[in-house]
Amino acid sequence: MQQNEKKFFQERHRKIHHEFNNLTDLELRTFKLLDEEIIEDIRRLDQYMRFREIEFEDADALMLSEPFNQALFRHEVQRFRQRYPKETTDKSYSRRQSDDFKPTRHYYTNHIVSQYDIENHVRRVGELELQLNNFIIAFDFGYIVEKVKYDEDQAQVVTNSTRQPHSNIQHALNIEQQITSKEKLEQFIQYLPAKIIEDQERTLEDTKTRFIAFVSMVVVVY
């Protein structure tokens, strides 16, 4: 399998260099590093990790961990849904050569309740963008965040809040990838479960501040 991967990417990088004859060696190495990072995450997902489904009735979110206080969690999800009733929002920006550069388009979905919602949103964006041109893609999630503290009497104090996804590509938390075809888009979609599991593993290890669930997502392209 690894030998086939090596041949595939050698040929891919040769074609990239041929198609973009002004591509510097540094830029080509960047393409290679991004490919290797995604492939490693997919391989790690297949061999070592599995998403743990959390049984939580009527969660209206993609659960990463069971909340300490279910009532507070449900209230925070409901508050978010009421604030952002529109399921999808697309925003466009002009390119600017400055320190405040923003991606050309943001594609929000405000109703993530399953892994399929995530994959379908990325696929929708990718298919729309491929009709226009090749593009670079990145993404981030909106979370329900739970914080647990103890007061002076050692009583547990739980608070919930929503952390919105980052929309500026300069601060994106997740890997960027060049998309040049539907095949490349599907490869990127294969990477998404690895990121979901990574967030779940991080949540289970941290007992004070936890990402309890995904509620939204933004895909940024430029």
Q: Which amino acid is at 175?
A: I
Distance from C-alpha of 170 to C-alpha of 172, rounded to nearest angstrom: 6
Per-residue pLDDT tens digits for 23-53:
555 555 555 555 555 555 555 544 445 556 6
Distance from C-alpha of 113 to C-alpha of 43, rounded to nearest angstrom: 25
Most confident of 33-42, 92-101, 127-136, 168-177: 127-136
Would you state the pLDDT for residue 128? 93
Per-residue pLDDT tens digits for 205-217:
556 888 899 999 9
> Where in the chain are the domains?
1-48, 55-95+105-221
Average model confidence (pLDDT) across the chain = 76
Per-residue pLDDT tens digits for 68-122:
899 999 999 999 999 988 778 887 766 555 555 556 788 999 999 998 999 999 9
